[in-house]
Amino acid sequence: MAEITASLVKELRERTGAGMMECKKALTENNGDIEAAADWLRKTGLAKADKKADRVAAEGRVAMAQADGKAVLVEINSETDFVAKDANFLAYTDAVAQAALNANDVEALKSATIGSGETVEASRSALIAKVGENVQVRRMARLESANTIGAYVHGGRIGVLVELKGGNAELARGLAMHIAAMNPPYISAAHVPAEFVAREKEIALAQVKDSGKPAEILEKMISGKVAKTINEMTLTGQPYVLNTDQTVEAALKAAGGAEVLNFVRLAVGEGIEKKEDDFAAEVMKQAGLA
């Protein structure tokens, strides 16, 4: 058995990022052969990744990359906010975002190569071994256009891409910030589904029909209520967060009639069902009271 020195353990740690005890065990299992130990760690890391795959990962980060008329957002999840701030996790998400610039979907992204020379998927498994949590590349959004693309990520939690015809980069980024803050479902009234408008009219009619007002006044009241609702849920109808004295529509007109063609917004954990621990019920169960 070759001697497992501290310097050998240190070298393996620096190479793999695994813990000290794991590195020592890997070297022991492989008779001090550092190359074999590194492979052993990767293989056991894959096994750990498989075991953690079913654990809910609803924290994480939205990473962004932009270059040459392309911009991308990638949501990568971890189990805890603590790991979401880990340097290894942050480096991985940045590398994945860069790779996503040339990938059309998540499945293609997983097989893409990142700076380390590994695939996104292989590097993910190695990261799981380092951080001890399930990590998932959940989804991505990508825009490629000759028009101006605005990109903004707020605190690593919310990411937005905006495609803007006309205007400039400053306006596009400002609109991305607005969407991050206000989360409008639609660009403008023209994009609101007709069935939604019809339902809002029915609701508004029910609210005012017993008011005793003449029919023409009721029609104006209904139109006003529906218009207010639509303005609240459309990008162009909302007050612009960078200048609340004007709507987004007014800001676009002031920029020479700029037009928002498309936008996408990703928020970490959106739509993931988190497990809620009922500690009171658990205590009662253990005490035989439930």
First to last CA, the chain: 55
Are 237 and 189 in contact by the 8 Å Cβ rule? The answer is yes
What is the pLDDT, as a whole number, of residue 283? 52
Q: How far apart are CA 217 and CA 81, in angstroms?
A: 54
CA distance 63 to 124: 15
Class at the top of the CATH hierarchy for domain 53-144: alpha beta
pLDDT of residue 3: 80
In CATH terms, the fold of domain 6-51 is Helicase, Ruva Protein; domain 3 (1.10.8)
pLDDT at site 275: 53
Inter-CA distances, 41 with 12, 125, 191, Å: 10, 11, 52
> Can you give the pLDDT at residue 158?
96
What is the chain's pLDDT, residue by residue, as a tens digit (290 residues)? 678 888 888 887 777 666 677 788 888 888 888 888 877 776 666 444 444 455 656 799 999 999 999 999 999 999 999 999 999 999 999 999 999 999 999 999 999 999 888 999 999 988 888 888 889 999 999 999 999 999 999 999 999 999 999 999 999 999 999 999 999 999 999 999 999 888 888 888 787 777 777 778 777 888 888 889 899 999 999 999 999 999 999 999 999 999 999 999 999 988 876 655 454 555 555 555 55
CA 261 – CA 238 distance, rounded (Å)? 17
Q: How far is CA 38 from CA 42, 147, 195, in A?
A: 6, 47, 59
Which of helix, strand or coil describes residue 160? strand
pLDDT computed for residue 262 by the predictor: 96
Q: Which residues, in sequence order, are bridge partners of residue 77?
A: 60, 136
Boundaries of every domain in the chain: 6-51, 53-144
Q: How many CA atoms lie within 13 A of 284 on its CB side?
A: 6
Q: Which two tokens stand for residue 148?
A: 């101006």
What predicted TM-score, i.e. pTM, was given to this entire model? 0.74
- DSSP string covering 49-85, please? HHHHTTS---EEEEEEEEETTEEEEEEEEESSHHHHT
- DSSP-assigned beta bridge partners for residue 11: none
